[in-house]
Amino acid sequence: MKAKATSLADFEEIADSYAKENDSLRAEIDRLHSNIGDLRNKLLAADEQRDLLRSQLNEANVQLRYREEAASTETEIQPDTAAAEPPDAQPGIQDGETRFYKKKFSHQNRDEMIPVTDCGCNNWETAHAADKGVVPSAVES
């Protein structure tokens, strides 16, 4: 630097240009370090999202296997022995009694239902149209 400068003014001018260049390089380094931090945060977020998606995929695979196993071992619900009796022979509905029925035939104006035992499932509970399998208490008159 001294060799390039022929006077004190030239030396100060060269030193100022080096100082400005150093300042701009430091600012660039700070900007790049900030970018690295942002990219690390994005990478961590992507890793978390990947782990969440893997967990959801594993859960979906377990549910699918369960459904496939259940479908392969599913048996038809057998009617109660009371279904063989005429409807008049069945006792009346008691307060709080729960009965289960299965649709046997569909006619133009009605469905034919047969009483069955409780199969232990609760799939009907999520139905939105009406309570299924629950008989309301008898109305006293």
- Average of per-residue pLDDT across 76-104: 67
Cα torsion at 90, 94, 96, 99 (round to 10°)?
0
Last residue of a domain, one of 54, 74, 94: 74
Same domain, 90 and 54: no
Confidence of residue 25 (pLDDT cuts 50, 70, 90): very high
> Does the residue 55 lie in any domain?
yes
Same domain, 70 and 85: no
Q: Mind listing the pLDDT tens digit for each residue in 58-84?
A: 899 888 888 887 777 666 666 665 555
> For the chain, how many structural domains are there in total?
2
Domain region containing 17: 1-74
Q: Is 77 exposed, middle or buried (0-12, 13-18, 19+ CB in 10 A)?
A: middle
Q: Which helix (H) or strand (E) holds 17?
A: helix 8-73
> Does the residue 140 lie in any domain?
no
Q: How far apart are CA 91 and CA 113, in angstroms?
A: 17
SS3 90: coil
The pLDDT of residue 138: 46
